[in-house]
Amino acid sequence: MLNINTIKNRIVNRDFTVGIIGIGYVGLGLAIKFGEAGFRVIGFDLDQAKINNINNGSSYIQHIPSDRIFNLIRAGQLKATNDFNELRKVDASLICVQTPLTRQHDPDLQFIVETADAIVKNLKAGQLVCLESTTYPGTTEEILLPHLITSGLKVGEDFFLAFSPEREDPGNEQYKLENTPKVVSGITPACLEIASLLYAQVVRCVVRVSSTRVAEAAKLLENIYRAVNIALVNELKITFDSMGIDIWEVIEAAKTKPFGFQPFYPGPGLGGHCIPIDPFYLAWKAREYGITTRFVELAGEINNTMPLYVIQKLADALNMRKKSINGSKILVLGIAYKKDVGDLRGSPSVEILELLLAKGAQVDYSDPYFPNLLLTRHSKIQLESISITEESIQFYDAILIVTDHSSFPYEMIYKSPALIVDSRNALRQRGFAGFNVIGA
């Protein structure tokens, strides 16, 4: 049996190599943090462009400066590779791969399974394996563990298995990895102890929970809580709009209550990797137990219909001007799923663009984070972001605000002759209101 104290001493003394599998938005930030804490770090990915960028000291994520990567590469603390045989060199494998949905909205765990297969071929005594990817309760025990024990090693004695959900929030300047509490769980007490100690080297607060299922469920609860409440205000936006009531003013009034209310805000749909997906992960797993999560699934359905609602509001507003979407010149502002971030994952803007094109609109877009965009839903359409100037926005029939980046010149936009359909309340919250501005 391994001497756990020896492993703990190696962690504290930084004589420990951390492998990060999947070096995207979550994995790259985690790799940098461990590297800056003094650990040797190897990033694993199938994307050769990401590997080349890292090894050249260059960042491909907007909020991560290149100099942080360059300094670690120069110091020999960080490298990236697509050779998964190098997993035998690491002491911890932290899994940060995608967990998407199938077309039927069922969990797609192919990346976790493929990662588990790569790890088990290189698993050695003393290694820690920790899953960070969002998934349904039971994944660590039911998917990862059976794969890993085929190595002949015993969990909790020869190797350690844990789950610690990522809590990445792009664009949040207040909470970063180090000051966001880190939920950690383990298959056995020894697994929990090793995983907790490792994460304690890079985060200020480690929250231990009793099982991997609890940690997996906690991550789902965090995001389903947001999805359900956003669905609620989205539904109320549609309801109040039919009554001639402004949902934004209602929320401002309601949030003056100092207790029992937390404001959530409507929008054109949900984006990002977690919030649009997590409700369906839980719903799928619940069916295994004969339970239908009606409330959760309804929230997903409401949020998924919001792009269609925005298109309908645009169509109605154009109709009032004796125009139709077909043939109209429309400028979509914002392609990222979230304000002031360069992240396109699950963005409702992409669906809105594709719907407009399918209805015959002449569409342009503007987004400082995405100079070009390839739409592939029906056919490959290449678009390029336009610069917003007084001249460039003079000839649009409508401007549709989908993502309210701070850098957009809203006063200039407001003064344009175009119909403006604002799905984010971007103009009114800046004091610009008028007959040409329609909420959506």
Q: Where are the alpha helices (DSSP H) in 93-188?
A: 110-120, 139, 145-148
Q: Which residues are catalytic?
A: 274
* Residue 377, C-beta contacts closer than 8 angstroms, at least 6 positions apart: 354
Tens of pLDDT, residues 310-359:
999 999 999 999 999 999 999 999 999 999 988 888 899 999 999 999 99
Taking a C-beta distance cutoff of 8 angstroms, is the pair 136, 282 a contact?
Answer: yes
pLDDT at 101: 83
- pLDDT of the residue at 231: 94
Residue 121, number of CB atoms within 10 A of its CB: 13
Q: Kindly report the number of other CB atoms within 10 A of residue 102's CB atom.
A: 11
Under a CB-based contact definition with an 8 Å cutoff, are residues 106 and 284 in contact? yes
Classify the C-alpha dihedral 228-232-237-239 as positive or negative: positive
pLDDT in tens, 383-411: 999 999 999 999 999 999 999 999 999 99
Per-residue confidence (pLDDT) for residue 378, from 0 to 100: 58
Mean pLDDT by 10 residues, the chain (440 residues): 88 97 93 96 95 93 90 95 96 94 86 95 96 95 96 95 90 86 97 98 97 96 93 95 94 96 92 80 91 90 93 94 94 93 88 93 94 76 91 93 95 93 93 86
Q: What is the pLDDT of residue 354?
A: 92
Could you give the 3-state DSSP secondary structure of residue 143?
helix
Render pLDDT for 134-160 as a digit per residue (tens, 0 to 9). Answer: 999 999 999 999 999 999 999 999 999
**420 within 8 A of 427, measured Cβ to Cβ:** yes
Q: Which of 38, 439, 380 is nearest to 241 (CA)?
A: 439
Q: What pLDDT is recorded for position 55? A: 96
- What are the E-state strand segments in 110-211? 128-131, 160-163, 182-186, 206-208
Is the pTM value of this prediction over 0.85? yes
Per-residue confidence (pLDDT) for residue 1, from 0 to 100: 63
- Sequence-distant (6+) residues with CB within 8 A of 280 are 101, 105, 106, 107, 297, 300
Domains belonging to the chain, first-starting first, are 4-210 (3.40.50.720), 226-439 (3.40.50.720)
